[in-house]
């Protein structure tokens, strides 16, 4: 039996993050409220340290290392926000970090990760299995592996985003959360179940990769090939063992958003709310606008999960005629 994380773990993570993670703002928009005939509360994790909620889970997990683990260091595989979250958290806590990244990862991401002081090991994604490679390195070097989403301490840390939102906004009827591997969604569901038991929690994944929805329908974890989508933070191929169990117990349903809907939401955030939100971070609001959920008259929490987007790419997407 898996030992699933609980709300107590989320509350303990909140104490560990105090004074280290930003308590990000909860913003309102009368334009969005009028458009959806609802009250929307945007939790701005695009303004979190290193630009995404992933700092929460990474810092929580590394804070729990014992003395031997701290000496040995942390290792992970990621080319996205989790890499930078682990690198920054490790630097803050004085722990050595190794990040395994694909050879063709954007140079900017490799540099950003090195800039936080981590050692980057590159691998060939066409010939090498990154999980086996990372596990082998962890073994050889005596390092602790912290994966991007399927880990109780990571899940508990991510849940602190919804905990803060519920504390600040008061009761919510609905909470919409971007979904990749499910660390953020399962953590937020734990917080919502404890603090607002009647709140319906929905995960939102890219239309091109709806493995989460398929998994809920089927009652088991469905694997898909890497989806082609602008939402690069949600290009996961399957949910995790922990995240799936929490999601199927505590989440109402999983819906999807298309790339065109994500771009429309990015433009809305830039124009109306003066916020830079990366495509994956727009999933929840895109679903609020287009997924046909019954939101009228409701109090709706929307998690903006991150804001890390290459500027040239951002300009191209924002500048395109709708």
Ligand X SMILES: *Cc1c(COP(=O)(O)O)cnc(C)c1O
- DSSP type of residue 52: B
Q: Can you tell me whether residue 243 is helix, strand or coil?
A: helix
Residue 182 binds ligand X (CB under 6 A):
yes
* Near ligand X by CB under 6 A: residue from 164, 210, 250, 278: 278
Whether 112 contacts 84, CB under 8 Å: yes
CA quadruple 224, 79, 258, 292: dihedral sign: positive
Binding residues with ligand X: total (CB under 6 A): 21
Q: Does 178 bind ligand X (CB under 6 A)?
A: yes
For residues 78 and 99, the answer to whether their CB atoms sit within 8 Å is yes
Q: How far apart are CB 50 and ligand X at their closest, in Å? A: 10
- Residue of 43, 54, 109, 200 marked active site: 54
When the beta carbons of 30 and 308 are compared against ligand X, the nearer one is 308
Residue from 144, 229, 256, 280 touching ligand X (CB under 6 A): that is 280
Segment interacting with ligand X (CB under 6 A) among 14-22, 23-31, 136-144, 278-286: 278-286
Minimum CB separation of residue 278 from ligand X in Å reads 6
Binding mask 74-93 for ligand X (x = CB under 6 A): ------xx------------
CA distance 291 to 113: 36
CB 208 within 8 A of CB 229: yes
Comparison of 52 and 221: residue with beta carbon closer to ligand X: 52
- Residues 149-168 interacting with ligand X (rule: CB under 6 A): 149
Residue 298 designated active-site:
no
Specify the 3-state DSSP secondary structure of 223: coil
Query: What is the pattern of x (binds ligand X, CB under 6 A) and - over residues 94-133?
Result: ----------------------------------------
Residue nearest to ligand X (CB): 306
Instruction: Please give the residues from 44 up to 63 whose contact with ligand X meets the rule CB under 6 A.
Output: 52, 54
Binding residue for ligand X, selected from 146, 165, 174, 179, defined by CB under 6 A = 179
**Closest distance to ligand X from the beta carbon of 68 (Å):** 28
Mark whether 79 is an active-site residue: yes
Q: Which of residues 208-237 bind ligand X (CB under 6 A)?
A: 233-234, 236
> Tokens 């919804």 label which residue?
162
How many whole angstroms separate alpha carbon 276 and alpha carbon 254? 25
Catalytic, out of 79, 89, 186, 215: 79
Q: What angle do CA 48, 54, 57 make, to 5 degrees?
A: 115
Q: Measured in Å, how far apart are the chain's first and last C-alpha atoms?
A: 49
Shortest distance (Å) from residue 115 CB to ligand X: 18
Question: Which ranges constitute the DSSP H helices of the chain?
Answer: 7-17, 30-36, 54-63, 67-72, 81-93, 107-115, 130-141, 152-169, 183-195, 211-218, 241-250, 259-272, 283-290, 311-319
Distance CA 297, CA 309 (A): 33
Positions in the binding site for ligand X (CB under 6 A): 52, 54, 80-81, 149, 178-185, 233-234, 236, 278, 280-281, 305-306
């Amino acid at each position: 039996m898996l030992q699933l994380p609980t709300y107590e773990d989320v509350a303990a993570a909140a104490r560990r993050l105090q004074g280290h993670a930003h308590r990000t703002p909860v913003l309102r928009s009368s334009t969005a409220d009028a458009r959806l005939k609802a009250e929307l509360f945007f939790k701005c994790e695009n303004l979190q340290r290193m630009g995404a909620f992933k700092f929460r889970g990474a810092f929580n997990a590394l804070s729990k290392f014992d003395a031997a683990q701290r000496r040995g260091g942390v290792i992970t595989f990621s080319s996205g926000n989790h890499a930078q979250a682990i690198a920054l958290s490790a630097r803050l806590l004085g722990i050595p970090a190794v990040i395994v990244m694909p050879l063709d990862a954007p140079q900017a991401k490799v540099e950003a990760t090195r800039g936080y002081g981590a050692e980057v090991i590159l691998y060939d994604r066409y010939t090498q299995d990154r999980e086996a490679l990372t596990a082998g390195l962890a073994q050889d070097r005596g390092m602790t592996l912290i994966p991007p989403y399927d880990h109780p301490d990571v899940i508990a840390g991510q849940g602190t985003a919804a905990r803060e939102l519920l504390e600040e906004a008061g009761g919510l009827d609905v909470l919409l959360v971007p979904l990749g591997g499910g660390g953020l969604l399962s953590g937020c569901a734990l917080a919502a179940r404890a603090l607002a038991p009647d709140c319906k929690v929905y995960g939102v994944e890219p239309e091109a990769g709806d493995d989460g929805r398929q998994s809920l329908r089927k009652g088991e974890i469905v694997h898909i090939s890497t989806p082609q989508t602008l939402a690069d933070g949600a290009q996961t191929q399957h949910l995790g063992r922990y995240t799936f169990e929490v999601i199927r117990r505590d989440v109402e349903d999983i819906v999807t958003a298309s790339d065109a809907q994500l771009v429309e939401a990015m433009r809305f955030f830039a124009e109306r709310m003066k916020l830079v939100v990366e495509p994956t971070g727009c999933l929840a609001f895109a679903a609020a606008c287009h997924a046909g959920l019954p939101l009228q008259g409701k109090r709706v929490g929307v998690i903006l999960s991150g804001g890390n987007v290459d500027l040239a790419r951002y300009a191209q997407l924002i500048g395109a005629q709708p």
